[in-house]
Structure 1
């Protein structure tokens, strides 16, 4: 999860291919990525759900907000619609499709800052991936490590801190407190 989460599809596919070839001496099967896509789509359709208190918390954030994700644009919009949160961000939904280099490069976050007419040092990134934390810090932004997703293991917050997160929160309610100038 630490190596691949937060990477654009082209980046994680190339990284996985190289790793498999290094370890096995053979490339992945030609249909490997199609199989992964089918399995992940099936699992998303069955299991994707809003994290508790996400809507209430995001709705309370009175400043400009957006989504900046490594997920391809069409799938990102589908996910946001599926969990009922798209209206909280639309039209400020940005995908790695918009930049040459995805996370951990800062390109996406810098693109978003410019598109939103904000200076990078004024931006707060809420990230659940090591690659996203690295990208946010490289962009000169304040980074909140977010561990509320069910994909986050017990030590995930410590890992995000080790890679540069400024603070860790483990539930949306704490994000509301921070956005209003308080401590979690």
Structure 2
């Protein structure tokens, strides 16, 4: 292995649990409630544009009416307030990342400005800067492989030399579509007990539950079979 590609939300920072709570609460308030596990599998990891389009369709099917005109603005306002108050690194992220001997970068569906803010806010940006790749760099977001392939090219690595660390079904699908090894990472509090099974069904090569075990898992990929 030459390159480790990290997702951000739910892998480096705890933003997924913040987003999920805000989105599910607000959807419930407008009569468009979702079961948490089904919502995570369908929507987590998508680019903002793909999330909005898919959610619009699903909510209209549930309620028979379009989303309120200010829906996305309200969700963004609620999420931003909670992120500013509660955003933190996933436990032991810095220590775990520092043990990984190969090149590393971030490839996240989050737009560039918000992505860099998250990493700066929790004090992890120095581990990756300038190798931070956002969904607005490519035409097709996850679950398409475009962002991971863009990151590999920028880092001068071939797909088979890359291992992706992902917590979402859509991210796992993207990593496998890119021809990369994929670690399903379940250290975040948003991951239920059976979340790893969902990631394996989506194509993850292995599941890693915490940062203590991540470096060893990546090293195993590098050994000849």
TM bracket (short chain): over 0.9
**Cα deviation digits, residues 151-171 of structure 1 (max 9, x gap):** 111111000001000000110
Distance 2:93 2:138 in 1: 27
Residue 58 of structure 2 aligns with which residue?
A: 19
Q: Secondary structure at the match of 1:65?
A: strand
State the TM-score, normalizing by the size of structure 2.
0.79
What are the equivalent positions in structure 2 for 1:26-175 lying under 5 Å apart?
A: 26-175=65-214
Q: Which has the higher contact order (CA 8 A, sep 6+)?
A: 2
Q: Could you tell me how far 1:144 is from its partner in structure 2?
A: 0.1
Misfit runs of 4+, over 6 Å: none
Distance 1:172 1:17 in 2: 36
Structure 1 gaps of 5+ residues are none
| 1:144 alignment partner, SS class | strand
Distance in 1 (CA, whole Å) between partners of 2:91 and 2:137 is: 30
- The separation in 2 between residues aligned to 1:41 and 1:154, in whole angstroms, is 28
Provide the rounded CA distance (Å) in 2 between the counterparts of 1:45 and 1:79: 9
Gaps of 5+ in 2: 1-39
**Would you say how many aligned residue pairs link Structure 1 and Structure 2?**
182
* Residue number in structure 1 paired with 2:44: 5
C-alpha distance in 1 between matches for 2:145 and 2:217: 23
Query: 2:107 is paired with a residue of what secondary structure?
Result: strand
Give the secondary structure class of the aligned counterpart of 2:103: coil
Structure 1 residues 76-108: Cα deviation after superposition (integer angstroms, max 9, x where no partner): 101101111000000000001000000000000
Aligned equivalents of 1:139, 1:179: Cα separation in 2: 18
Q: Secondary structure at the match of 2:165?
A: strand
CA RMSD of aligned residues (A): 1.1
Q: Indicate the residue corresponding to 1:177 in structure 2.
A: 216
